[in-house]
């Protein structure tokens, strides 16, 4: 019978008390002792404190057996074996006192194992029937269930169990510690090694190398932190990838995002294929990412140059990464796998384009396997654009990113950092000026490699670039075509290794074909045909492969050709196309072709480079033929060619300089306009202010301003030279032309250095306003358009220094209360601001001059007692303008206009006896109004802007008036009447409508001189 079935016959309520009698009651305390308490000490039928005898135990067993046998149902064993079963059960219960264990150990054994121990101590009698033996075993197990349950309820059991567990744990910890001391953990040395490795990465990559520069004073290694320049990258966004805009990326066009290059692995895909042209900064970016990661400590960088790795028979597994790149530090066993498994790796694989095509498949398989094994890391692979197809790693989750060409601001930053690192600050500004004014030089400086070369050449020549650009381009070609790969240890790619001369021969034929066609791109098939035709004449190239193989090698390794779209090639820099095309034109004797294109702006640089490549006789002939065309443009072209000529016939040089002297510098504004028509070429030839008259300096700035739209950087460079010029006309030109430029750079580079005396600065755009408020204060400001003018009020410097404000056409403006803090403000003009209703601040300002053009005159005018100049164009009251004028103001100039076009009422105007100048834009209404003018004793200047014939009808005799402003009039009768009423006139200005032609103006001048005998000045405009 199973114990569970037996338990159904004997309830716990009846049997539990019988089992508990077998053990002693709990004593005081928790029972925490040093050694376990054995069962022999717990049973109630042993020891000095026993409460049961063996007979009592026998009686308990008899009760159990009897109650089981008497329960309803089938008898569990034969009735005649009741005594034998009772004796056997009693023997097993008594065996509890003989077990060598404690109660905790008994509980761990379980009821079945405890019953087995008791059965082995008191075996089943051999003469018992099978049913009786089965009942005995079942009853023993059932009794053990109650015994163990009784143990777990004893107050001392839990405490003793915890003590034993603590002892066991302490022993286990001691044994584990001993094991660890004998066998260290696999990663126990990782932290110390990573510290050493990060220091090594920082030291190894903290300098950048410019290959191919062997100039005497120019080191080829620069500190990374000084030389590194944050460039932009264009990321190809995929639908499954998040946008980079969260991390500062700027959407450029559909499907692309602009972001800083160092953020290509931040916020977007964790795997990136980075493409960039030769010298665009791919390797430098890899170094920057590695050093940054090493210093930050979040990621462990691995810099893996593929050109080094592929030399081995097999590409390395993670454990061999450091050995493969020559790292002298030996990592702990399994360290690399542990780093990559936890996703802490930054794997930077540089130079996919630098390995043969056959090895690129092997590199792809190797990289794919690594990414699959360790997917949670960050991966960057660099390559030139044409090395692999667009989707080469798309299936592995790699995003496509391309390094962008350097912008002008980045070029300037690079130049400044280069000179700071080289300790050559004295050459910096001169080079920046050349980069702005020399268009072909600026087109060359579009990546760090070429910028570095230009800086080095400029310093080598003590602040001067080569006399001609040919030397610069030749140095660039030598570096790009052969030296850079050779100095980096690059061998033949795909079995093709072309010398510099062979490459130049092929490239110049492609370039000349592009120049002749007037294009910058060529079909791949056309280019392949050109290569095919020239291979027989190039022995070294003909032995190394067919035309397509040679062309592919040039696309991949030359650094000059690229494939901007499928099936199309072009030169990375237009200036290389012009340089090589000119070289081929000279070699083939195509001087006639060059001269025939002299008026084509696309051929300017080609012709200049042809002069540089030509032999002396060819050079003189080409320049003379340009002069023979006898146009300002070709004369200037000839002058520009002299710069490219290492030597030139002295007679030719003298003739060019004499012809050009009549054009540069321009002497007048008219000549400046004519000179600007020759195009941006002029900017390279315009002189600085040295040795120029004020008129010539002004004319030069006019020419440069007119060419700003075509070449803003070059024009800016010219105007920068004049920022310290004292002439008011020059300074006005510099201030008046800033709308043609980017506001911020122009303000900081030109206007901030100009003397501001008498100069009003026009601010009409948000960009201009932002530039103004970010820089030093400008005292005289003309603010036009819907701008938030409170920005100016936030500048303490502007509040202290602005003395004049003209606010024109601002519909956003509702009040001018923000002007209360402008302590230096003396002149204010508000016009066409329809929503300005609150002018209560006006009496609190210390204004000398106020102009207001609006619906009705401000109510505050009578309270402005300090005004000396007042311009009003408004709805003047019918009772007369005097009703709204400031009562106690010592007005000297008063300009009035009735905005509804009706006549003016001047009643009471004579109260302002201080008036010296009165300007009337509407005629007075009545003779009485005219007579008010005769009551102004200090009136010496009169401006009448209405019809001259109408105005003179009511004009009284005013002998004190010395100057008259009048709309143009040639009528002798009308002018005679003015002469009668203004006998003291010494100057007159006739405006708005002067006749064309000098003869007619001379006639009017003679008439005025005859009518006004005291005239000393006549202006007709």
Of 250-259, 532-541, 998-1007, where does the model show the most confidence?
998-1007
Tokens coding 746: 């122009």
Nearest partner of 133 among 63, 176, 81, 91, judged by Cα:
81
Q: Do residues 488 and 448 lie in contact, with contact meaning Cβ atoms separated by under 8 Å?
A: no
Q: Is the pLDDT of residue 107 over 50?
A: yes
How much is the pLDDT for 238?
A: 45
Q: Is the preceding peptide bond at 665 cis, omega within 30 degrees of 0? A: yes
Nearest partner of 948 among 970, 930, 981, judged by Cα:
970
Kindly state the percentage of the chain with pLDDT values over 70. 83
Q: Give the start-end residues of each E strand in 101-211.
A: 207-209
Burial of residue 119 (CB within 10 Å: 0-12, 13-18, 19+) is: middle
Element (H, E) at 828: strand 827-831
Among the listed ranges 210-214, 393-397, 930-934, which one has the minimum average pLDDT value? 210-214
Q: Is the pLDDT of residue 218 over 60?
A: no
How much is the pLDDT for 112?
A: 86
Average pLDDT on 801-818 reads 92
pLDDT range class, residue 243, cuts 50, 70, 90: very low
How much is the pLDDT for 128?
A: 85
Q: Which residue has the higher pLDDT, 782 or 441?
A: 782
Q: What angle do CA 474, 477, 480 make, to 5 degrees?
A: 150
Residue 198's contacts (CB-CB under 8 Å, 6 or more residues apart) are: 294, 295, 297, 300
Between the alpha carbon of residue 490 and those of residues 353, 355, 739, 795, the distances in Å are: 11, 9, 51, 58
HSE-CB at 213 with a 13 A cutoff on CA atoms is: 24
SS3 category, 234 = strand
CA distance 608 to 644: 6
Q: Each residue of 970-982: b (16+ CB within 10 Å) or e?
A: beeebbebbbebb
Average pLDDT on 111-130 reads 84
SS3 category, 858 = coil
Q: Is the pLDDT of residue 229 over 80?
A: no
pLDDT range class, residue 778, cuts 50, 70, 90: very high
pLDDT range class, residue 278, cuts 50, 70, 90: low
- Contacts within 8 Å (CB) and 24+ apart, 384-388: 384/275, 384/276, 384/277, 384/278, 384/353, 384/556, 385/275, 385/276, 385/277, 385/562, 385/563, 386/353, 386/555, 386/556, 386/562, 386/563, 387/352, 387/353, 387/360, 387/556, 388/273, 388/352, 388/360
Average pLDDT on 913-919 reads 95
SS3 category, 699 = helix
Q: Which residue has the higher pLDDT, 277 or 979?
A: 979
Q: Is the pLDDT of residue 889 over 60?
A: yes
Please identify which residue in the block is written with the tokens 């042809």: 610
Q: What confidence tens digit (pLDDT) does each residue in 293-339 have?
A: 998 888 999 999 887 788 788 899 999 999 988 899 999 999 999 99
Q: Is the pLDDT of residue 89 over 90?
A: no
Kindly state the percentage of the chain with pLDDT values over 90. 29
Q: Do residues 660 and 641 lie in contact, with contact meaning Cβ atoms separated by under 8 Å?
A: no
Q: Do residues 888 and 865 lie in contact, with contact meaning Cβ atoms separated by under 8 Å?
A: yes
Q: What confidence tens digit (pLDDT) does each residue in 963-998 have?
A: 999 998 888 999 999 999 999 999 999 988 766 667
Q: Is the pLDDT of residue 727 over 90?
A: yes
CA distance 846 to 366: 79
pLDDT range class, residue 251, cuts 50, 70, 90: very low
Phi then psi for residue 326, to 5 deg, are 80, 25
Q: Do residues 196 and 329 lie in contact, with contact meaning Cβ atoms separated by under 8 Å?
A: yes
- Contacts within 8 Å (CB) and 24+ apart, 19-27: 19/143, 19/146, 19/147, 19/150, 20/150, 21/51, 21/52, 21/56, 21/60, 22/52, 22/57, 22/60, 22/93, 22/96, 22/147, 23/150, 24/49, 24/51, 26/154, 26/155, 26/156, 27/156
Q: What confidence tens digit (pLDDT) does each residue in 122-172 have?
A: 888 888 888 888 888 888 887 887 777 777 776 666 666 666 666 767 777
Which residue(s) pair with 808 in the sheet?
784, 831
Nearest partner of 205 among 225, 180, 185, judged by Cα:
225
Tokens coding 395: 């299936």
Q: Is the pLDDT of residue 111 over 90?
A: no
Phi then psi for residue 404, to 5 deg, are -90, 155
pLDDT range class, residue 177, cuts 50, 70, 90: low
Please identify which residue in the block is written with the tokens 């009040």: 815
Q: Is the pLDDT of residue 2 over 60?
A: no
CA distance 659 to 654: 9
Average pLDDT on 27-53 reads 60
Q: Do residues 730 and 698 lie in contact, with contact meaning Cβ atoms separated by under 8 Å?
A: yes
| Torsion sign across C-alpha atoms 851, 857, 860, 866 | positive
Instruction: Supply the mean pLDDT for the chain.
Output: 82
Q: Which residue has the higher pLDDT, 950 or 357?
A: 950
Average pLDDT on 775-789 reads 91
Among the listed ranges 203-212, 656-665, 788-797, which one has the minimum average pLDDT value? 203-212
- How many Cβ atoms from other residues are within 10 Å of residue 469's Cβ? 23
Please identify which residue in the block is written with the tokens 């140059």: 305
Q: Is the pLDDT of residue 420 over 60?
A: yes
Nearest partner of 428 among 443, 409, 413, 442, judged by Cα:
413
CA-based radius of gyration for the chain: 51
How much is the pLDDT for 509?
A: 92
Among the listed ranges 628-642, 885-899, 1005-1019, which one has the minimum average pLDDT value? 628-642
Of 63-72, 476-485, 809-818, where does the model show the most confidence?
809-818
């Amino acid at each position: 019978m199973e114990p569970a079935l037996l338990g159904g016959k004997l309830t716990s309520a009846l049997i539990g008390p019988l089992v508990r009698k077998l053990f002693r009651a709990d004593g005081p305390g928790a029972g925490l002792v040093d050694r376990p308490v054995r069962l022999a000490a717990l049973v109630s039928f042993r020891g000095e404190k026993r409460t049961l005898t063996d007979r009592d135990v026998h009686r308990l067993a008899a009760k159990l057996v009897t109650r089981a046998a008497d329960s309803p149902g089938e008898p569990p064993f034969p009735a005649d074996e009741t005594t034998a079963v009772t004796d056997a059960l009693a023997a097993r219960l008594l065996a509890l006192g003989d077990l060598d264990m404690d109660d905790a150990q008994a509980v761990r054994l379980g009821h079945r194992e405890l019953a087995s121990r008791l059965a082995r101590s008191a075996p089943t009698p051999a003469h018992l029937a099978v049913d009786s033996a089965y009942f005995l075993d079942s009853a023993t197990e059932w009794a053990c269930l109650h015994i163990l349950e009784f143990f777990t309820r004893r107050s001392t059991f839990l405490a003793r169990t915890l003590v034993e567990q603590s002892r066991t744990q302490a022993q286990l910890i001691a044994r584990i510690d001993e094991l660890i001391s004998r066998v260290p953990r696999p990663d126990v040395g990782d932290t110390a090694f990573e510290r050493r490795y990060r220091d090594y990465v920082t030291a190894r990559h903290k300098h950048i190398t410019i290959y191919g520069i062997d100039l005497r004073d120019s080191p080829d290694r620069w500190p990374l932190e000084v030389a590194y320049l944050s460039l932009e990258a264009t990321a190809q966004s995929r639908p499954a990838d998040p946008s980079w805009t969260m991390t500062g990326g700027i959407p450029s066009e559909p499907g692309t995002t602009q972001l800083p290059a160092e953020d290509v692995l931040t916020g977007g895909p964790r795997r990136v294929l980075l493409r960039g042209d030769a010298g665009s900064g791919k390797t430098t970016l890899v170094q920057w990412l590695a050093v940054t990661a090493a210093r930050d400590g979040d990621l462990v960088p691995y810099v893996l140059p593929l050109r080094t790795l592929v030399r081995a028979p097999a590409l390395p597994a993670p454990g061999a990464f450091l050995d493969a790149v020559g790292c002298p530090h030996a990592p702990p066993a399994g360290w690399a796998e542990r780093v990559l498994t936890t996703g802490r790796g930054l794997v930077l694989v540089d130079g996919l384009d630098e390995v043969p095509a056959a090895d690129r498949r092997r590199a792809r398989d190797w990289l794919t396997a690594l990414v699959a094994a360790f997917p949670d890391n960050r991966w960057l692979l660099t390559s030139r654009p044409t090395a692999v197809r667009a989707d080469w790693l798309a299936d592995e989750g790699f995003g496509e990113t391309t390094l962008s060409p350097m912008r002008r601001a980045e070029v300037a930053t690079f130049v400044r950092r280069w000179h700071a690192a080289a300790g050559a600050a004295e050459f910096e500004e001169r080079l920046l000026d050349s980069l702005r004014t020399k268009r072909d030089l600026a087109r060359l400086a579009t990546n760090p490699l070429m910028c570095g070369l230009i800086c080095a050449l400029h310093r080598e020549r003590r602040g001067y670039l080569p006399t001609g650009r040919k030397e610069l381009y030749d140095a660039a070609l030598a570096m790009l075509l052969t030296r850079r790969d050779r100095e980096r240890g690059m061998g033949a790619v795909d079995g093709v290794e072309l010398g510099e001369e062979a490459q130049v021969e092929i490239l110049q034929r492609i370039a000349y074909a592009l120049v002749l066609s007037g294009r910058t791109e060529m079909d791949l098939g056309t280019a392949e045909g050109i290569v095919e035709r020239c291979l027989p004449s190039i022995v070294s190239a003909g032995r190394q492969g067919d035309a397509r193989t040679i062309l592919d090698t040039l696309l991949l390794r030359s650094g000059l050709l690229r494939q901007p779209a499928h099936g199309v090639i072009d030169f990375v820099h237009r200036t290389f196309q012009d340089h090589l095309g000119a070289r081929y034109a000279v070699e083939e004797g195509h001087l006639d072709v060059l001269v025939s294109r002299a008026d084509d702006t696309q051929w300017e640089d080609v012709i200049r480079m042809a002069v540089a490549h030509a032999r002396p006789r060819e050079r003189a002939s080409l320049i003379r033929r340009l002069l023979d065309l006898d146009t300002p443009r070709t004369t200037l072209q000839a002058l520009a060619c002299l710069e490219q000529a290492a030597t030139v016939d002295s007679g030719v040089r003298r003739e060019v300089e004499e012809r050009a002297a009549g054009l540069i510098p321009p002497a007048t504004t008219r000549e400046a306009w004519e000179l600007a028509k020759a195009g941006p070429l002029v900017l390279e030839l315009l002189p600085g202010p040295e040795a120029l008259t004020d008129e010539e300096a002004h004319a030069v700035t006019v020419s440069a301003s007119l060419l700003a739209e075509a070449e803003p950087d070059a024009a800016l460079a010219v105007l920068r030279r004049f920022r310290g010029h004292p002439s008011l006309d020059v300074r006005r030109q510099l201030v008046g032309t800033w709308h043609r430029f980017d506001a911020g750079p122009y303000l900081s580079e030109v206007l901030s250095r100009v003397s501001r005396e008498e100069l009003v600065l026009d601010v009409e755009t948000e960009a201009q306003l932002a530039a103004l408020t970010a820089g030093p204060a400008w005292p005289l400001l003309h603010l036009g358009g819907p701008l938030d003018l409170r920005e100016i009020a936030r500048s303490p410097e502007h509040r202290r220094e602005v003395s004049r404000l003209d606010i024109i056409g601002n519909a956003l403006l509702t009040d001018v209360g923000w002007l209360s803090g402008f302590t230096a403000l003396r002149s204010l003009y508000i016009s066409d601001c329809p929503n300005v209703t609150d002018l209560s601040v006006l009496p609190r300002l210390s204004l000398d001059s106020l102009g207001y053009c609006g619906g009705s005159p401000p109510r505050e005018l009578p309270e402005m007692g300090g005004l000396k100049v007042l311009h009003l164009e408004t709805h003047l009251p019918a009772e007369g303008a005097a009703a709204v004028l400031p009562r106690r103001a010592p007005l000297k100039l008063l300009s009035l206009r009735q905005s509804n076009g009706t006549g003016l009422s001047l009643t009471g105007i004579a109260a302002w006896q201080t008036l010296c100048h009165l300007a009337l834009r509407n005629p007075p209404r009545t003779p009485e109004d005219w007579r008010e003018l005769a009551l102004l004793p200090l009136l010496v200047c009169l401006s009448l802007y209405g019809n001259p014939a109408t105005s003179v009808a009511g004009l009284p005799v005013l002998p004190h008036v010395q100057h008259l402003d009048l709309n143009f009039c040639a009528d002798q009768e009308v002018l005679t009447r003015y002469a009668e009423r203004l006998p003291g006139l010494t100057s007159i200005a006739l405006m708005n409508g002067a006749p064309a032609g000098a003869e007619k103006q001379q006639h009017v001048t003679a008439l005025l001189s005859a009518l006004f005998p005291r005239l000393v000045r006549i202006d007709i405009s």
